[in-house]
Amino acid sequence: MGAVPYDGGTSFRVWAPHASGVYVTGDFNDWNGRAHGLGREDGGYWSIEVPGAHHGQQYQFVITRDGADDLWRIDPYARMVTNSVGNAVIYDHGSFDWSGDDFDTPVWDDLVIYELHVGTFAAEGHERGTFERTRHRLGYLRDLGVSAIHVMPPFEFAGDQSWGYNPAHVFSVESAYGTPDQFKHLVKEAHQHGIAVILDIVLNHLGPSDLAVWQFDGWSENDKGGIYFYNDHRSNTPWGDTRPDYGRPEVRAFLRDCALEWLEQYHVDGLRFDAVNYIRTVDGITHDEGNQIREGWEFLQWLSDEIDARQPWKFTIAEDLQRLSAIVQPTSEGGAGFSAQWDADFVHTVRAGIIEPDDAARHVDGIASAVHGPLDVAWTSRVLYTESHDEIANGKARVPESIHPGDADSWWAKKRSAIGSALVMTSPGVPMIFQGQEMLEDSYFRDDEWLDWSKVDANTGIVALHRHLISLRRNREGRTAGLRGPGLTMLRVDDERKILVFHRYRHSGPGDDVVVAVNLTDQPVAEYAVGLPAPGPWAVELNSDAEMYSPDFGSHEVWDVTADGPEMDGCEQSGVLTLGPYSVVIFSRAG
């Protein structure tokens, strides 16, 4: 579909079932609107081959209708546009050199995600970020240790500034960010740094503005969107009357082709699907049967099967946030077939737990439940975070700012936000941080305020803390394999002392077993006996209270532990811990 270059010309194909005629015009025919008429095919499709039309030339379709004015339209499948209301551009995917891109997508248990927004992540001076500027920051991300970046939607949108969740052209990259080749260079170089690329994709609505597909061939009902959209009450979304018609085979194919284009032609390693609860329901509410869109659910299942059939190693992550386990269950069992979904329980519970100003009101049992997660899904099927683009915008602040408003650099803010990051990295699931979280960025997310890179130098210790946590999570030193495993046992949930201790493991044994101890109060803890899962020495791998992470941290003395005490907490032996205030200590089983 769209414009596909071949040796000596370009073929054009478009779906316009209500047109009386379709023409393609552009640089190749001096914009003569009637020079190249497309032939009608079955099913409302039109096509033509135009010798001499080539990569880089601009074009549009002209749709004629009996008794009505002509419609000039940008190709819905345009792989490149001059801008959201400009012209389509013929783009040849085969012209890009992918040689050397032999990247192996990380396995799920090695995935640590860094969410970023191109326009604000790598801005310089007064200039917004671009694909090229983002590419130049990849070395920083490699050194931080993440194994994947989650790129917020980079599709062509209205204007030059946006979060990206208002896509006008879903096959085209945002022209203010760069060209298709520049985005491919970003992906290729990320791979060379050992970093996967997960692309945020928006299929729950389109636009709502600058939409060439709106009433594309002139037909509509109820003054709605026409052939690409529902034309009844199902069209309504929080982002306008622009919900695609998931029941139309041609629209399903359009959305499927979009997803596969980024996976196959741009070599991205996965897709994060925005607000899929608005694909499967009218108003995003799970439990109201009258709001269900059965065709939307069937579309999600079909798309999952299409991706699995072609590239089963690629990640698919859903933002649903309705605690529905069927989202990540296999389609063969009636599920939607996603690899994972964002975990609403974790973020809301853990954020509330560390933001709460009163230690006595902190609910350790709730935090323990969030760490544990649901029992009816695989441990790798939940993405864990305390900050995301949604959680730190629209009236919601960054975690340190929420802890201590007006003084996000305070001891309290640094200590408790560090607990949140440590729980993200040590709980069973796929950890994710948002751009700047590792450098103690305190400004809420906006598309017109750039990430403050000076905070890397101002908060070198907090950056180092995140680097160490990520290294432990990925078992880079070979001593913490349990953090990459499914095993979790709560050893102590002490709501009176506000202490949480849990055991993480894959197969168990030295180099595998990990114990995480969390003190959720502003007072140090000494001589705290707790059951440990194996006898012998347990070595301190990380103490978040260490002065190396911030000059005002206490460096509360924490020692390696020997598990030689009496039976306790369901374990045959125990050890005695010391913990600094608002601290996390991670132990590995030595041997």
pLDDT in tens, 317-337: 999 999 999 999 999 999 999
Which residues 6+ apart lie within 8 Å of 449 measured at CB?
Answer: 120, 443
- Give yes or no for residue 555 having a pLDDT over 80: no
Reported as a pLDDT band with limits 50, 70 and 90, residue 415 is very high
- In this structure, are residues 149 and 114 in contact, taking their beta carbons and an 8 Å threshold? yes
In the sheet that 2-6 helps form, which strands lie side by side, from edge to edge?
2-6, 9-15, 45-51, 39-40
The reply to whether 46 falls in a domain is yes
Which of the two residues, 384 and 408, has the higher pLDDT score?
384
Answer yes or no: are the C-beta atoms of 382 and 548 closer than 8 Å: no
The residue out of 95, 126, 144 marking a domain boundary is 95
Residue 205 lies in a domain: no
Give the list of residues 6+ apart from residue 107 with CB closer than 8 angstroms, or none.
Answer: none
**Looking at 63, 95, 127, which one is the last position of a domain?**
95
Residue 569 clears pLDDT 90, i.e. is over it: yes
Residue of 305, 400, 386, 406 whose CA lies nearest to 342: 386
- 475-502 per-position pLDDT tens digit: 999 999 999 999 999 999 999 999 999 9
Answer yes or no: is pLDDT of 305 > 70.
yes
Integer Cα distance of 25 and 18 in angstroms:
20
Half-sphere CA count of 9, side-chain side, radius 13 A = 8
Q: What is the mean pLDDT of the chain?
A: 96
Last residue of a domain, one of 61, 95, 129: 95
pTM: 0.96
What is the SS3 assignment for 498?
coil
Per-residue pLDDT at 158 exceeds 90: yes
User: Which tokens sit at 258?
Assistant: 């979009």
pLDDT, tens digit (0-9, with 9 covering 90-100), for 427-446: 999 999 999 999 999 999 99
Nearest to 434 by CA among 449, 422, 451, 419: 451
Tell me the pLDDT band of 135, cut-offs 50, 70 and 90: very high
Q: Is a pLDDT exceeding 90 seen at residue 33?
A: no
235 falls within a domain: no
Residue 506: CA count within 13 A, CB half-sphere: 18
Contact 64, 70 (CB under 8 A): yes
**CATH code assigned at 69:** 2.60.40.10
Residue with tokens 């009505």: 68
Task: Return the CA Rg of the chain.
Answer: 26
Q: Is residue 332 one of the residues assigned to a domain? A: no
Could you give the CA distance from residue 424 to residue 506 in angstroms, rounded to a whole number?
18
Tell which residue, 239, 264, 245, has the closest CA to residue 168.
239
Rounded to 5°, the CA angle 346-286-228 comes to 115
Look at residue 267 and tell me if it is in a domain: no
Q: Number of structural domains, the chain?
A: 2
Does residue 474 sit in helix, strand or coil?
coil
Name which of 352-361, 517-526, 536-545, 554-563 the model is least confident about: 554-563
Q: Which residues contact 147 (CB under 8 A, 6 or more apart)?
A: 106, 110, 111, 112, 113, 194, 195, 196, 474
The CA distance from 484 to 506, in Å, is 7
In 3-state terms, what secondary structure has residue 350? helix
Which pLDDT score is estimated for 556?
Answer: 78
- CATH number for position 543: 2.60.40.1180
Question: Cβ(316)–Cβ(259) under 8 Å?
Answer: no
Average pLDDT over residues 409-424: 97
Of 584, 496, 574, nearest to 528 (Cα)?
574
Residue 470 lies in a domain: no
Residue-wise pLDDT for 245-276, tens only, equals: 999 999 999 999 999 999 999 999 999 999 99
Contact (CB, 8 A) for 173 and 179: yes
What are the C-alpha distances in Å from 414 to residues 324, 363, 401, 467, 540?
33, 20, 10, 15, 21
Q: Which pLDDT belongs to residue 124?
A: 84
Average pLDDT for residues 62-75, to the nearest whole number?
94
Region 100-120: mean pLDDT is 96
More confident residue, 591 or 106: 106
Identify the CA nearest to 443 among candidates 489, 470, 485, 405.
Answer: 405
Question: Interior CA angle at 161 toward 156 and 163, to 5°?
Answer: 80
Per-residue confidence band for 286, with pLDDT thresholds at 50, 70 and 90: low
Q: What angle do CA 43, 46, 52 make, to 5 degrees?
A: 155
The answer to whether residue 525 is domain-embedded is yes
CA–CA separation, 124 vs 424, rounded Å? 30
Whether 118 contacts 450, CB under 8 Å: no
Q: Using an 8 Å Cβ cutoff, are 459 and 439 in contact?
A: yes
Q: Where in the sequence is the domain holding 32, given as residue range(s)?
A: 2-95
What CA dihedral angle connects 159, 161, 167 and 169, to 10 degrees? 50
ω into residue 208 within 30 of 0, thus cis? Answer: yes
* CA pair distance 481, 465, nearest whole angstrom: 19
Question: Residue 508 domain-assigned?
Answer: yes
pLDDT band, very low/low/confident/very high, at 81 (cuts 50, 70, 90): very high
